[in-house]
Amino acid sequence: MLVEKSNRDSTPITLRPGLAERAGALAGALANLSPAERIARLRRDLDGPVVLTLGFGVEGQVLFHWICERNIDVDVVTLDTGRLFPETYELWAETERRYGRKIRAVYPDHVALESLIEKQGIDGFYASKQARQACCDVRKTRPLERALAGASAWITGLRADQSSERRKAGLVSVDADRGMLKVNPLFDWSREAVLAVVKANDIPINSLHAKGFVSIGCAPCTRAIQPGEPERNGRWWWENGGNRECGLHVQRKRGRVSKETVVPATNYAGCG
Ligand code: SF4
């Protein structure tokens, strides 16, 4: 739970019961901080486990860099779907070597996966959106529940300018499905600003980025995009319309999420 604490660098947070109020208080405290300071402040002001889900995109790599650099107590976990690019596994290993830290991996339930493959075959996700979502559910969404079990807050690498869907995420929101806070420290950052941090700190990133891949997920469902295309156009490109999300960032209990629970960030000066 959030607690009241004074901090030398900012005013105390006054908190009232209720997750939405907590989200609002936290968003106000984080809005004008840098993303690295946001993570540190979140950790300082929140009791209970804080989890970063790392997909080895440039955003996650930068967040992981700051967490290691500042030795912030955050549980870093990745969802290994079993269908990642070889380059992603190489980056995973390189990241562990660079930071001297193992990254916790969560895998699909083998019974559910075997049942899925029996029903739809190894590449059955191309057959229909429903089949694709069934695969994402078994390989990603359900493992996410185990990754986040018992957490007080979930940190992600979402940025507002990745898509119109993600623009709705806010800096801090309430994850009504899981009863926890969801924090997106890079919400008001551009990809260029993130890449500048990568370059300045020589942070390892996926070698596929140099080949035109921008948002990188499972190998069979990701392709390179043309310059100027929306970032997530390389994901599930065979599907027409709809959002380009696998379900990880989709709220199911929308009725329980009021507008006030999504708190936009004010631009942090220097975010680019
Ligand atoms: Fe399955 Fe593709 Fe979703 Fe990965 S991205 S879980 S391979 S449908």
pLDDT digits (tens, 9 = 90+) for 215-249: 999 999 999 999 989 888 999 999 976 666 666 66
Residue 235 domain-assigned? yes
Instruction: Report the pLDDT averaged over residues 202-208.
Output: 98
Residue 234 domain-assigned? yes
Q: Is pLDDT at 11 greater than 90 in this prediction?
A: no
Q: Token pair of 70, please?
A: 């500042």
What is the structure's pLDDT at 222?
97
Q: Is the CB of 136 under 6 A from ligand 1?
A: yes
pLDDT digits (tens, 9 = 90+) for 119-155: 999 999 999 999 999 999 999 999 999 999 999 999 9
What's the one-letter identity of residue 212?
Answer: G
Domain that holds residue 35: 19-246
Residue 17 alpha carbon to ligand 1 centre in Å: 38
Residue 260 domain-assigned? no
Question: For ligand 1, atom 6, which residue shows the shortest CA distance?
Answer: 136
Q: Is the CB of 221 under 6 A from ligand 1?
A: yes
Residue 127 domain-assigned? yes
Indicate yes or no: pTM above 0.85. yes
Residue 61 domain-assigned? yes
With 0-12 / 13-18 / 19 or more C-beta atoms within 10 angstroms meaning exposed / middle / buried, residue 264 is middle
- The residues annotated as belonging to the active site are 246
Pocket test for ligand 1, best of 113, 133, 135 (most atoms within 8 A of CB): 135
With pLDDT > 90 as the criterion, what percentage of the chain qualifies? 72
Residue 126 alpha carbon to ligand 1 centre in Å: 9
The answer to whether the CB of 39 falls within 8 A of the CB of 66 is yes
Residue 169 domain-assigned? yes
What is the structure's pLDDT at 165?
76
The answer to whether the CB of 159 falls within 8 A of the CB of 186 is yes
Residue 55 domain-assigned? yes
Q: Is the CB of 140 under 6 A from ligand 1?
A: yes
Average pLDDT of the residues of the chain: 87
What is the structure's pLDDT at 167?
79
Residue 26 domain-assigned? yes
232-255 burial string, b = 16+ CB within 10 Å, else e?
A: bbbbbeeeeeeebbbebbebeeee
Q: Around Cβ 96, how many Cβ atoms within 10 Å?
A: 12
Residue 272 alpha carbon to ligand 1 centre in Å: 32
Instruction: Report the pLDDT averaged over residues 56-72.
Output: 98
Q: Residue 201's domain is classified under what CATH number?
A: 3.40.50.620
* 55 — pLDDT class (breaks 50, 70, 90): very high
Q: Is the CB of 158 under 6 A from ligand 1?
A: no
Pocket test for ligand 1, best of 129, 136, 232, 249 (most atoms within 8 A of CB): 136
Q: Is the CB of 38 under 6 A from ligand 1?
A: no
Q: Is the CB of 246 under 6 A from ligand 1?
A: yes
| Overall number of domains in the chain | 1
Residue 122 alpha carbon to ligand 1 centre in Å: 11
Closest residue by Cα to residue 256 from 152, 176, 157? 176
* 209 — pLDDT class (breaks 50, 70, 90): very high
Q: Is the CB of 170 under 6 A from ligand 1?
A: no
Q: Is the CB of 49 under 6 A from ligand 1?
A: no
Residue 128 alpha carbon to ligand 1 centre in Å: 12
Residue 4 alpha carbon to ligand 1 centre in Å: 42
